[in-house]
Every structure is written in structure tokens, then in C-alpha cells.
Chains A and B, each alone.
Chain A
Amino acid sequence: MLAASLIITHKIYGEEFVVKLITTLLMSVLLIGCVSNDITPYDYSSLRSENPKSVLVVPAVNRTVNVDAPDYFLSTISKPLAERGYYVYPIHAVKRAMEDDGLNDADLVHGADPKRLGQMFGADAILYVSIERWDAKYIVIQTTVTVDFNYVMKSAKTGEVIWEGMQQMQYTPDDGGGGLIGAIVNAAVAKAAPNYIPLTQQANSLTLNAHHRGLPAGPYQLDYLQDQTKFDTKEKK
């Protein structure tokens, strides 16, 4: 729809106008994005007092019909989490070790005692994710996926929630600059063999790195314990 109206506008008003229009649209979207980010900071008091150094990521619970969603998520969570400065347990080895212990289903793992899981691996904290929504819509030439992920971090010592994050986003695979024909080809390709690695990469990275909502630095990141203004409190103007 948007692409079609842009093409029509382009025909009538010329390229310069379209560029200006896109700039204005982008600016307003970005401003809204930043403003809505400008909310009350998350209460980090329990996370700060727990001060976890290692995080155990357990298999994601899938509440959608997309069977690949948990694998996309698991493949792309270690990197952003480790880059926040935490020790992240080997995702695949953890999954297999839990299966050997009879925890061969994500729902079972999420229902298990966090303290017991923590003891099994020696972890300080456990990250649970549930995939609440994964809707792919094919509209004429474009594929748009709407996802909704829920992140909960629990202390392995007390079992209490120490951090929570949420990510609702829309993702449209890049048309690769091929214009209309490129987009048609891409939509066909996306239907045949979709690659949603960039989607979960983006969702995980945005959730963990967002100011005042994301996860403060862990011990291996440079601003460990020095990032209060980015997370706990608002900067003074």
C-alpha cells in the first residue's frame, strides 16, 4: 500500500518531493520512538542488589503456530546477552543437558524451580522468553511479520523476578534495493525459504540495549556498575 502510494506520488510530484516526504515521515516516526522510550525507568533495585554475573537462557516457550520461532530466538540470544557483559551458558549444551534430566520441553523448564535450574548449572540468573505472537502477513508484494516477545529474568538464588522486558515489533525483510520487481521476487523467495535471523537479532538487541528498559551492563562490559544514568535514572537536562 505504502509502496504503491509512494510510486504514485513519485509520478505526480517528482523524486525530490518524495525524498522530503520520506524524511518528514521518518523524523516523526523516530521522534515518536524516542518519546515513547522516554518513559519512567524500569525499577532495577532487585537486579542491582542481586548483581548477576552469569545468565542461563532456557528454551523459549512458543505460543504461536510458527514452529521455527523458538529456534530463531535461541540462535540469536547468546550474542547480545554476552555483549551486555554477562557469562552466557552454552545454549545448545544446556538444552541437551536439560533433556537428559527429563526437562525435554520448554513448558516443563519454565515451570521448574528456578533455584534448582540455577544449581544444576551454577548460574546466577535465568532468562525465560515466551514468544506470544508471530504473524506473517503477505500483502501483495510485501511480507510483514508482527512479533511479540516477553522476557523475564529470575534470580537463581531467590526465584524472584529481577528484570522484565517486552518487544513488540514489525519486521519487513529488506527489498534489497531491487525496487518493485525486486520486491516481488523477494516476497516469493521469503515465502519459499524465509530467513528471520535478522528479525530475532533485532528484537533481542533492542530489548537488551534499550535505555531505561534494557539490561544494565554485566561484569565483562566496560561501564559495569557505571551505567545508572542510562538505566536506573533519567539524565538531567
Chain B
Amino acid sequence: MVLKRRNKLRISRLFIALFVVVSLSACVNIPKPLYDWGKYENSLYKYYKKPARAESHANVLQDIIAAEADGKRVPPGLRAELGFMLMEGGENNAAIELFQKEKAEWPESAVFMDRLIESAGR
């Protein structure tokens, strides 16, 4: 008896969950992700709060970019973001390489990347 009641409850919970999913998809639907973001959002926030965490944030960006080898797509702006951090740390050649890659992947970034390449080349 107890077991049966449990099952009944489980089924009704399942219906609630299904109902929520169906209703939400009717109002707002979020398509399949285009890119792989890894731990980007949490890491950026932590970096804002503690600029000393620069290296750890750079590693998160590096991981997302490296995941391209596994067929994952790198989101727009992330190579430029890493390049900028490297430039701030004085690694200008590595930075320029990333800015050039960003520009090649995303033509919309050309104006900004050219500016960054110029200042890193100085």
C-alpha cells in the first residue's frame, strides 16, 4: 500500500515536471547551444571580484579554446579576451596571434582587433 502511494506520488511529480517543461517551452524557447562556454561565466565573475585570479581565468579561456580540437565551437570574443589578458601580462606575440585568429574567425571584430594588434606590436 505504502509503495503504491509512493509510486502514485512519483507519477504526479513527473507530470508536474513535464508540465513545467512544456509550458516554459511554449513561452520562451532556447535553441540548442551554438558554442561551448566551459566555466566562462563563473570564472569571469570571480576574476572581476579578485583581479589576482587572472591566471586562473586565463586557464579557463585556454581550456575553452583548446576544446576546439574535440570539435567544440569557440564562442565569439573569447580568443580576443585571452589575447587581451596575455597582452596585459606582456606576452605580446602570443596576444597578436590570438587577435589575428579572432579576426579571421569573426570578421565583425576586425576594427577592434586591428587596434589591439597595433598596440601590442608597439
Option from A23, A79, A85 in Cβ contact (under 8 Å) with B12: A23
Instruction: Name the A residues within 8 Å of B26 (CB-CB).
Output: 34
Tell me if A22 is interfacial: C-beta within 8 Å of chain B: yes
A23 to B23, CA, bound (A): 13
> CB distance B108 to A75 under 8 Å?
no
Instruction: Name the B residues within 8 Å of A214 (CB-CB).
Output: 28
Interface size of A by CB at 8 A reads 55
Option from B28, B34, B45, B112 in Cβ contact (under 8 Å) with A197: B45
**Min distance, Cβ B98 to any Cβ of chain A, angstroms:** 10
Instruction: Name the A residues within 8 Å of B77 (CB-CB).
Output: 78, 82, 87-91, 93
> CB distance A96 to B84 under 8 Å?
yes
Instruction: Name the A residues within 8 Å of B41 (CB-CB).
Output: 75-76, 79, 197, 201
> CB distance A91 to B81 under 8 Å?
yes
A76 to B46, CA, bound (A): 12
Interface residues in A27-69 by Cβ distance below 8 A to B read 27, 30-31, 33-34, 37, 53-54, 68
A79 to B30, CA, bound (A): 12
> CB distance B80 to A82 under 8 Å?
no
Instruction: Name the A residues within 8 Å of B35 (CB-CB).
Output: 82-83
Given contacts A90-B84, A121-B112, contact A85 B34 (CB under 8 A): yes
> CB distance A34 to B27 under 8 Å?
yes
Q: Count CB-based A-B contacts (< 8 Å).
A: 139
> CB distance B28 to A206 under 8 Å?
yes
**Min distance, Cβ A80 to any Cβ of chain B, angstroms:** 8
**Min distance, Cβ A22 to any Cβ of chain B, angstroms:** 7
Residue of B nearest to A77 (CB): B41
Instruction: Name the A residues within 8 Å of B116 (CB-CB).
Output: 93, 97
Q: Which one of B26, B33, B35, B109 has the highest number of Cβ atoms from chain A below 10 Å of its Cβ?
A: B109
A223 to B81, CA, bound (A): 28
Tell me if B9 is interfacial: C-beta within 8 Å of chain A: yes
Instruction: Name the B residues within 8 Å of A89 (CB-CB).
Output: 77, 80, 109, 112
A6-35 interface bits toward B, Cβ cutoff 8 Å, 1 = contact, 0 = none: 000000000110011011001100110110
Tell me if B76 is interfacial: C-beta within 8 Å of chain A: yes
Tell me if B3 is interfacial: C-beta within 8 Å of chain A: no
Tell me if A221 is interfacial: C-beta within 8 Å of chain B: yes
Option from B9, B40, B111 in Cβ contact (under 8 Å) with A79: B40
- The residues of B with any CB-CB pair to A shorter than 8 Å are 5, 8-9, 12-13, 15-16, 19-20, 23-24, 26-31, 33-35, 37, 40-42, 44-45, 47-49, 75-78, 80-81, 83-85, 88, 106, 108-112, 115-116
- The residues of A with any CB-CB pair to B shorter than 8 Å are 15-16, 19-20, 22-23, 26-27, 30-31, 33-34, 37, 53-54, 68, 71-72, 74-76, 78-79, 82-83, 85-94, 96-97, 119-124, 197, 201, 205-206, 209-211, 214, 220-223
14 contacts between A and B (CB under 8 A): A15-B9, A16-B12, A23-B19, A71-B49, A78-B77, A83-B35, A87-B76, A89-B80, A90-B78, A92-B81, A93-B84, A120-B111, A197-B45, A205-B28
